[in-house]
Chain A
């Protein structure tokens, strides 16, 4: 059984069909990159996977559990599925340590004495252990995004979703975030990423999913998809982002 199973998912915003029958499986330990033009439904699909959006039709299962906004253990579910956003969304009124330990403490995952060691551990994994006492606003965009990743890692998720996490960053800061994600990939984390970083997608992803008009238009390993796209839509997309 795949870790994530998406079956014929439909989603409308008003009268606009954003997802138009998406089906996709993601295996445990797999790294799947979703690419596509803006408006193709990539981010919406990601948000549906952790029930930030409800689907109108179709089903999403994660670890065999059906995902929807009214699922009884939604909070426990979200602790297992981390999501990192384009805009970092750190809590600016909390220092880096508290940003990371707030949820583990409030959800009872850890006790007070374990908080700082946990923060140091996950910060070390993103190379920012020395920033544990900083305010988010004192960090660069790249550093903030790495803290946001560390905050997710502190919940020990089984699956990580990344929603265009480098899009808001200055070009020189993109590399440091991608490096952290590469390291996570090597450690076997299951990851679904929406990204415009084609180089990263090509090098790190096990599978590329090209979305178009709210559908999975084409999918396959990067070596095949980037070299021999089967559809003219993917070919023109690849040409446009090169």
Chain B
């Protein structure tokens, strides 16, 4: 076991880690936007929109995310949409994270009793005021644990982007391994980096959750 030959690749490893974090955060942000919009659409009255959203969820939750990335990277160019590797992976992972987020956010919204919405309406609040001030905070609290664990899965899932040669951590690891033939050392290091990132996010989310959701739980 010898880690020394890897030292000269430290900059690549740091860059790969940054790309992994960027990919995760971008996909999570867009995924959450898709998730919120999709959840609102699922609860809406327009039937075709509900079917569309339902179809999207089922499609992305029942196919391998690697194939989703391949389709965005290799197939969309035939329809005139050519994206670089990072952007293609970001789009595919956003759609993947969005499909899971819709269900998580929808169940968060559903967990708020209808009587709370009625109470808001009875005080003369508008639909949006009820949504933002009454429905959303407890729904976010209920959805938060599932969203954060899905986020960690997304972080780990970004390694799939290596297959379209996006310069994220796993792709960098493959490159270093091919140069040094130090498989054990390379994968031990990136395993530790993924583990450290995942644990750091878990701790961060726990702190943010404790600060954001301070009200006592319903008995």
A172-B219 Cα distance, complex, nearest whole Å: 20
List which B109-133 residues lie within 8 A (CB) of chain A.
Answer: 115-116, 118-126, 129, 133
CB A190 to nearest CB in B, in angstroms, measures 17
Contacts A85-B115, A91-B134, A93-B137 given; does A52 touch B121 at CB 8 Å: yes
Chain B interface secondary structure, helix, strand, loop or mixed?
helix
Q: Is the CB of A103 within 8 A of B124?
A: yes
Question: A65 near B: Cβ within 8 Å?
Answer: no
Q: Does A135 contact B (CB under 8 A)?
A: yes
Interface residues contributed by chain A, number (CB under 8 Å): 28
Query: Which residues of chain A in 77-94 are interfacial with respect to chain B, using CB atoms and an 8 Å cutoff?
Result: 77-79, 82-83, 85, 87, 89-94
Give every chain B residue within 8 A of A138 (Cβ-Cβ): 216
Minimum CB–CB distance from A72 to chain B (whole Å) comes to 13
What's the tally of chain B residues with a CB closer than 8 Å to chain A?
Answer: 23
B125 touches A92 (CB 8 A): no
Distance (Å) between the CB of A84 and the closest chain B CB?
9
Flag whether B79 is at the interface (Cβ < 8 A).
no
- A92 CA to B138 CA, complexed, in Å: 8
Q: Which residue of A lies closest to B116 (CB)?
A: A89
A224 CB, min distance to chain B CBs, angstroms: 33
Q: B126's closest neighbor in chain A, by CB?
A: A75
How many Å from the CB of B140 to the closest CB on chain A?
A: 9
Answer whether residue B217 sits at the interface, using C-beta atoms and an 8 A cutoff: yes
Give complex CA distance A103, B120 in Å: 8
Cross-chain pairs A/B with CB under 8 angstroms, 18 sampled: A75-B124, A77-B124, A78-B124, A83-B122, A85-B115, A89-B116, A89-B118, A91-B120, A91-B133, A91-B134, A92-B218, A93-B137, A103-B120, A106-B133, A107-B123, A137-B216, A137-B217, A155-B123
Interface of A with B (CB < 8 Å)?
A: 50, 52, 75-79, 82-83, 85, 87, 89-95, 102-103, 106-107, 135, 137-138, 151-152, 155
B residues adjacent to A (C-beta < 8 A): 115-116, 118-126, 129, 133-134, 137-138, 141, 213, 215-219
